[in-house]
Amino acid sequence: MNDRNSEKERIMNQYRVRQTRQILAITAAIFLVLLAAVIHKRPDLFGTYSRSSLFAAQAITIAVFLGFTNWNWRCPSCAAFLSSDIYRRRCKKCGTHLQ
């Protein structure tokens, strides 16, 4: 009984860590994509960069974000990929309570 509770707690803690990492990654990705757009619109602020290098920076940001999400955004119990709902209560695949 106690063992099952601590296992549950471990999974919920792990989910919280993953959720926090995911929110930070979303924030950073949005920030970097917007930053590239701002740099493009306001060359007086940071200097002039070519459209293609800013587009490449955005594409890399999104690729890194997707790679990170693929690694991070998984059920702590069965490692199934979690869907786009960042505040989900249980895993769709194994039914484990996540929070």
Binding site for Zn ion (CB under 5 A): 75, 77-78, 80, 91, 93-94, 96
Q: In whole angstroms, how close is the CB of 23 to Zn ion at the nearest point?
A: 20
Q: CA-to-CA distance for 89 and 99, rounded, in angstroms? A: 5
Q: CA-to-CA distance for 58 and 74, rounded, in angstroms? A: 25
Its sign, for the CA torsion 23, 28, 31, 34, is negative
Nearer to Zn ion, 34 or 86 (CB): 86
Nearer to Zn ion, 24 or 94 (CB): 94
Look at residue 93 and give its three-state secondary structure.
coil
Q: In whole angstroms, how close is the CB of 72 to Zn ion at the nearest point?
A: 14
Q: In whole angstroms, how close is the CB of 15 to Zn ion at the nearest point?
A: 10
